[in-house]
Copies of this chain bind each other. A is one copy, B any other.
Amino acid sequence: MVSKNQIKTITGLQQKKYRKQHKLFFAEGIKVVQELLNSNFELHQLFTTQDIFKAVPDSKTEFITEAELKKISALATPNACVAIFVMPEEKTVPDSGLIVALDDVRDPGNLGTIIRLCDWFGISHLVCSEQCVDVYNPKVVQATMGSLTRVNVVYTGLDEYLQKTALPVFGTFMDGENIYSESLPENGIIVMGNEANGISQAVENRVGHKIAIPRFGDLQQTESLNVATAAAIILSEFRRDFSGK
Contact = CB atoms under 8 A, between A and B. Distances in A.
Contacts of A218: 122
Interface string A113-154: 100110111111000000000000000000001110010000
Counting chain B CB atoms within 10 Å of each CB, the highest count among A213, A228, A240 belongs to: A240
**Total copies of this chain within the assembly:** 2
B181 A216 contact: no
B222 A116 contact: yes
A243 interface: yes
A75 interface: no
B121 A217 contact: yes
Interface of A: 109, 113, 116-117, 119-124, 145-147, 150, 178, 180-181, 213-219, 221-223, 225-226, 228-233, 236-237, 239-244
28 contacts: A109-B109, A116-B222, A116-B225, A120-B217, A120-B225, A121-B217, A122-B215, A124-B217, A147-B222, A150-B219, A150-B222, A178-B243, A180-B240, A180-B241, A180-B243, A181-B243, A181-B244, A214-B243, A216-B243, A225-B232, A228-B228, A228-B229, A229-B229, A229-B231, A229-B232, A233-B233, A236-B236, A237-B240
